[in-house]
Amino acid sequence: MQYPEFQFLSSKASQAEQRCYAFGIFEKNDTTPDTTHLTGEPLYHDVLMPLIKESQFTGKQGTTATANCFHTAGKVILVGLGKQEAIDQETIRQAAGLVYRTCAQLHSPSVVIHFATLLTQQNHLKAFAEGTLLAAYLDERFKSKKDTTITHLKKVYLLNAIEDDQTIQLAQQIITGANLARDLVNAPANHVTPSMLAETATELAQRHHLTLNILEKEDCARLGMGAYLSVTQGSSQPPKFIHLCYKPKSPNPPSAKIALIGKGVTFDSGGLNLKIGNAQIELMKYDMAGAAAVLGAAEAIGAIKPNKEIHFIIAATENMINGNATKPGDIVTASNGKTIEIDNTDAEGRLTLADALVYAEKLGVDAIVDLATLTGAMVVALGTRMAGIFGTDAQLINSLMAASPRTGEKIWQMPLESAYFEHMHSIVADMRNTGSKKGAGSITAALFLQQFVEKTAWAHLDIAGAVWTEKPWSYYNAGATGFGVRLLVDWLLNS
Ligand code: BES
Ligand code: MN
Ligand code: ZN
SS (H, E, C) 146-195: CCCCCCCCCEEEEECCCCCHHHHHHHHHHHHHHHHHHHHHHCCCCCCCHH
Band (pLDDT 50/70/90 cuts) for residue 12 is low
Co-location of 204 and 76 in the same domain = no
Tens digits of per-residue pLDDT, 402-451?
A: 999 999 999 999 999 999 999 999 999 999 999 988 899 999 999 999 99
Tens digits of per-residue pLDDT, 63-109?
A: 999 998 877 668 999 999 999 999 999 999 999 999 999 999 999 99
pLDDT at 2 exceeding the cut of 90: no
Strands 240-246 and 211-215: antiparallel
240 is catalytic: no
- Domain range for 97 is 5-163
Q: Tell me which ligand sits closest to the C-alpha of residue 344.
A: 1
Check residue 436 and give its pLDDT. Answer: 87
Number of domains present in the structure of the chain: 2
Please choose from 348, 375, 443, 444 the residue to mutate so as to test ligand 1's pocket, defined by most ligand atoms within 8 A of CB.
375
Distance CA 406, CA 413 (A): 17
Co-location of 157 and 297 in the same domain = no
Percent of the chain past pLDDT 70, that is, above it, reads 98
Mean predicted lDDT score pLDDT of the chain? 96
Does residue 426 belong to any structural domain of this protein? yes
pLDDT at 452 exceeding the cut of 80: yes
Stronger pLDDT, 30 or 65, i.e. the higher one: 65
Tens digits of per-residue pLDDT, 33-71?
A: 999 999 988 889 999 999 999 999 999 999 999 998 877
SS3 285: helix
Tens digits of per-residue pLDDT, 179-190?
A: 999 999 999 999
Check residue 92 and give its pLDDT. Answer: 98
Co-location of 198 and 114 in the same domain = no
Co-location of 196 and 159 in the same domain = no
Does residue 171 belong to any structural domain of this protein? no
CATH number for 407:
3.40.630.10
Check residue 55 and give its pLDDT. Answer: 97
Question: Which residues fall within 8 angstroms of residue 353, CB to CB, at 6 or more apart?
Answer: 261, 263, 315, 370, 372, 374, 449, 452
pLDDT at 284 exceeding the cut of 80: yes
Q: Tell me which ligand sits closest to the C-alpha of residue 377.
A: 1
Please choose from 269, 283, 346, 353 the residue to mutate so as to test ligand 1's pocket, defined by most ligand atoms within 8 A of CB.
346
Distance, CA 316 to ligand 3 centroid (Å)?
Answer: 12
Does residue 179 belong to any structural domain of this protein? no
pLDDT at 11 exceeding the cut of 70: no
**Its pTM surpasses 0.95:** yes
Co-location of 224 and 111 in the same domain = no
Tens digits of per-residue pLDDT, 151-186?
A: 999 999 999 999 999 999 999 999 999 999 999 999
Enter the DSSP assignment of 466.
T
Co-location of 119 and 207 in the same domain = no
Co-location of 199 and 101 in the same domain = no
Could you say which of 163, 179, 209 is where a domain stops?
Answer: 163
182 is catalytic: no
Co-location of 412 and 485 in the same domain = yes
Check residue 74 and give its pLDDT. Answer: 86
Question: Does residue 431 come out as left (phi exceeding 0), alpha (psi in the -120 to 50 range) or beta?
Answer: beta
Check residue 16 and give its pLDDT. Answer: 54
344 CB under 6 A from ligand 1?
A: yes
Question: Does residue 335 come out as left (phi exceeding 0), alpha (psi in the -120 to 50 range) or beta?
Answer: alpha
Band (pLDDT 50/70/90 cuts) for residue 288 is very high
Question: Which residues fall within 8 angstroms of residue 206, CB to CB, at 6 or more apart?
Answer: none
Distance CA 298, CA 205 (A): 9
Check residue 250 and give its pLDDT. Answer: 86
Co-location of 156 and 273 in the same domain = no
Band (pLDDT 50/70/90 cuts) for residue 226 is very high
